[in-house]
Amino acid sequence: MRSSQTPLQIAINVTAMLILFALITMTFQPVFGGWRFFVAGFGGAVLGIVIGLLTSRGSLQGWLYTAAGVVLAYVLFGVQLAVPSTALWHVLPSFEGLRELMLGAVFSWKGLLTAEPPAEGFPSLLVVPFLTMLLCASVATTLALRLRRHGSFALIPVLIALVVGITFGTKIASFPVAVGVALAGVAVAWLAWRSKIHRDALAKETELEVTAGRRLRKDLERKRFLGAIAMLALASIGAAGVGQLVNPAGRNVLRDVVEPPIELADYPSPLAGYRGWLKNYSDETLMTVSGMPADARLGLATMDYHNGEVYTVGGADDESAAGSFARVGDVIGVQQSGEEATVSVSIDGYSGIWLPSTGFAQSIEFEGDRQQALQTSLAYNGATGSAIVLNGLQTGDSYEVHAIVPEYPDVDDLKQATISDVAVPKPAAIPDEIQAWASEHGTNGSTTMENITAMQIQLQKGAFSHGLENETTSLAGHSSFRMDSMFKVDSLVGDDEQYAVAFAFALQYIGVPARVVMGMYPDEGFESGSVELTGDDMHAWVEIPIEGFGWVPFDATPPEDQTQIEPDPVPKPEPKPQVLQPPQPIEEPVELTPEVQPEGGTMDDEEEGFDWLPIVMTVLIVLLSILLLLSPFIIIGLMKLSRRKKRRNAEDPSARLAGGWHEIVDQAVDLGLEVPRGVTRTKVAAHVSERYPQSRASDIGQYVDTGVFGPQSPPEDEVETFWSDVDRSVEAMRHEASFWDRLKSRLSVRSFMRNRSARRRTR
């Protein structure tokens, strides 16, 4: 039914929509962080409300105008609100911004699910709250202003916006109790106000006179007021209870079923190219760094799984989280304690997907011509502090990292340290020689830390060699075969690559979690100012989880001047430990060069390879669940609609009059009124009118008697007018009934049972 609302009523409806959508916008806070999400989301809501207001009245009234207004607002204001970094002078749309806006309408939904919160730094992900609020607010406002009888339908788009905010968010909600209580309170108060306005309009339209005295009217108004207060309280308590019960562990969001589309197994192990950096770039500047703490390390990659051939990052499905990278924006915000550092990096000879960083990044901001390409392909692992850029770093790139560098324990702390119980993938095979060596040197201490220190000291007694010209022979690589052969000679020989892997193998054998890290640092530590790093500054080390400190670096490599320039050592006799199991076959050979990898992981590939099935299945399950819950209302409603249609379309005008009367009686029965059987229509009408004074049942019953038993059939136009009176009578009864009676009447089949009994008696 079309609405003709006063300016005050319009203002109240618009205010309710503003408050509801402002509250719903807050559901996006956990996934975006900061405040820009609110500007985008609430800005879209305001635009949608204005569109709904303009297209609900006057010459622009119509859904076609509403749709056109949404498209126009999206194009004119989307760049400034959803992708503000691309706007010209922060005011005018740009071609780049419009491109991001159009692509964001399709791909930002997937991008938000695979992005690591906070997602505010992504160029186009703010399209999600902006577009959601723009669409839902325009439809909700239009329905609220156009409909009089069924204004509650305006809450459907409000509910849709709420579902989007929750399902596209994180397990951690932002003030769930406060937002839930406020939403429920505003919605119920608005519905109660709409109901009162409709009752007043209905009474005025039908020009009814309520026969109850002043005392009865006051009593009725008091009951309605108390009922509204009770509904508000019940809704608030329910919202608070749900907010408390649905804790983060119990919340299900879409990002739980969508795997990040970054698979590092497609890239060669960075440690496999370790010797190449030393051989080809020993004197060449790879990068220039400033702002590093003196004793910090510039990490490249953290690897936790040895597959028999190389150390690599475990996949996202493995025990460890080292391979779980998620797309991030310029703001990362990993929670960590330690020393703050702002590190600037300028790339010279270095290339590859692994981004040099230190500690745990709070933000990473790129500069230069490739700023956009690098920022959009940035991914981060909050568990290891490693970062990658799928488009690859190259000469001329630069960026700034704001990081928290953890404090490492000193020697005294390590003596009393406890190893954390952290899950790390087991190696495919630990060489027998290393097992025997670890049994000899790593099991005699009184504490685990003593065993760790004993093995570390023993490894540091070995010889250092890169295997380059004029150095002791030392083959590159760290496969199980290479590591087994290293321990078959009298003296250990190798560099960071072999000693770090050997230490990690030995630690894993005695039950200590360990992972290998590859990175850069000068042997004398970082100086203040700018420091040029070359291939000689490339290192590898082991990290062990220590209670209270996190993952702590341990070096097992001998000093570089501890060389052994002698003929190749004589092999020892073959020991007889348990038989070495063959390593798992590797499908593809490992590349040993540090050259930049193919850019096979671009954003376009992610978009093409995205699996929509989990989202589609989730949406279908939700919709089917809602449909199942509503099915009783739908089925019974369709039955009553069919009965009403049959009565109104009867061929005989007298039958249509009688059918209209039965509609009134059936409504009274479904509302809970005990209607007497076997009495005249006049008595039934009096009984209905006594309970529902505004129904005009007595007048309608008298008119039906005249039409049915009169000498002539009533004219068609009078019958149509009569059915309009029937509709108003039914509506008046519903508005005089309580909320629970109206709800129960939707599910009531008492009228069907009563009519069935009446038909049996007439047989």
Structure confidence by residue, pLDDT tens digits, 586-614: 444 444 344 434 344 444 444 444 556 55
Dist. CA 195–CA 202, nearest whole Å: 10
pLDDT above 70 covers what percent of the chain? Answer: 75
CA atoms within 13 A on the CB side of 363: 13
Whether residues 287 and 144 fall in one domain? no
Tokens of residue 409, six digits: 């324990």
Q: At residue 377, what are phi and psi to the nearest 5 degrees?
A: -105, 15
Which residues are within 8 A (CB) of 568 and not within 5 positions of it... i.e. 6 or more apart?
Answer: 473
Residue 457 buriedness (CB in 10 A; 0-12 / 13-18 / 19+): exposed
Domain boundary, last residue among 240, 256, 272: 256
User: Of 125, 108, 166, 135, whose CA–CA distance to 45 is shortest?
Assistant: 135
Instruction: Give the H or E element holding residue 306.
Output: strand 305-306
Residue 577 in this model has a pLDDT that exceeds 60: no
Per-residue pLDDT at 615:
62
- pLDDT confidence of 375, banded at 50, 70, 90? confident
Please indicate, yes or no, if residue 2 is contained in any of the structural domains: no
Please indicate, yes or no, if residue 86 is contained in any of the structural domains: yes
Per-residue pLDDT at 686:
87
* Helix (H) and strand (E) counts in the chain: 24, 17
Whether residues 68 and 31 fall in one domain? yes
The more confident residue out of 371 and 337 is 371
Average pLDDT over residues 319-339: 72
| 3 state SS for 59-121 | HHCCHHHHHHHHHHHHHHHHHHHHCHHHCECCCECCHHHHHHHHHHHHHHHHHHHHECCCCCC
Whether residues 382 and 273 fall in one domain? yes
Average pLDDT over residues 90-108: 77
Please indicate, yes or no, if residue 708 is contained in any of the structural domains: yes
Strand partners, 92: 88
Whether residues 604 and 622 fall in one domain? no
The more confident residue out of 23 and 61 is 23
Q: How far from the centroid of its chain's Cα atoms is residue 387's Cα?
A: 21
- pLDDT confidence of 263, banded at 50, 70, 90? low
Whether residues 599 and 735 fall in one domain? no
Q: At residue 633, what are phi and psi to the nearest 5 degrees?
A: -60, -40
Per-residue pLDDT at 437:
95
Crossing angle between the packed helical segments 448-459 and 432-441, to the nearest 10 degrees: 120
Residue type, 755: N
Whether residues 411 and 547 fall in one domain? yes
Domain boundary, last residue among 561, 590, 608: 608
Residue 554 in this model has a pLDDT that exceeds 90: yes
Q: What is the DSSP letter of 427?
A: P
Q: How far is CA 280 from CA 169, 274, 287, 403, in A?
A: 47, 11, 15, 31
pLDDT above 90 covers what percent of the chain? Answer: 27
Segment 676-693, tens digit of pLDDT? 877 888 888 888 888 888
Per-residue pLDDT at 1:
44
Please indicate, yes or no, if residue 753 is contained in any of the structural domains: yes
Residue 578 in this model has a pLDDT that exceeds 80: no
Q: How far is CA 449 from CA 57, 417, 531, 635, in A?
A: 78, 7, 35, 70
Residue type, 285: T
* Count of structural domains within the chain: 3
User: Of 66, 46, 37, 49, whose CA–CA distance to 127 is shortest?
Assistant: 37
Residue 616 buriedness (CB in 10 A; 0-12 / 13-18 / 19+): exposed
Please indicate, yes or no, if residue 288 is contained in any of the structural domains: yes
Q: How many CB atoms lie within 10 A of CB 73?
A: 21
Dist. CA 339–CA 359, nearest whole Å: 9
Residue 194 in this model has a pLDDT that exceeds 70: yes
Whether residues 289 and 409 fall in one domain? yes
Please indicate, yes or no, if residue 627 is contained in any of the structural domains: yes
Q: With contact defined as beta carbons under 8 Å apart, do 220 and 212 qualify?
A: yes
Average pLDDT over residues 298-326: 78
Segment 197-250, tens digit of pLDDT? 767 766 665 544 444 444 444 554 554 554 455 445 444 444 444 444 344 444
Per-residue pLDDT at 403:
92
Whether residues 357 and 499 fall in one domain? yes
Whether residues 300 and 382 fall in one domain? yes
Q: With contact defined as beta carbons under 8 Å apart, do 231 and 739 qualify?
A: yes
Dist. CA 295–CA 527, nearest whole Å: 9
| 3 state SS for 170-188 | CCCCCCHHHHHHHHHHHHH
Whether residues 729 and 690 fall in one domain? yes
Please indicate, yes or no, if residue 1 is contained in any of the structural domains: no
Whether residues 81 and 207 fall in one domain? yes
Per-residue pLDDT at 646:
87
Q: What is the DSSP letter of 535?
A: G
Whether residues 286 and 356 fall in one domain? yes
Q: What is the DSSP letter of 460?
A: T
Domain, as residue range, for 243: 7-256
Q: With contact defined as beta carbons under 8 Å apart, do 341 and 359 qualify?
A: yes
Segment 444-484, tens digit of pLDDT? 988 999 999 999 999 999 999 988 888 888 888 899 999 99
Residue 64 in this model has a pLDDT that exceeds 80: no
Crossing angle between the packed helical segments 432-441 and 496-509, to the nearest 10 degrees: 70
Please indicate, yes or no, if residue 757 is contained in any of the structural domains: yes
Strand, coil or helix: what is 56?
coil
Q: At residue 401, what are phi and psi to the nearest 5 degrees?
A: -115, 125
Domain boundary, last residue among 582, 608, 634: 608
Average pLDDT over residues 749-754: 75
The more confident residue out of 393 and 323 is 393
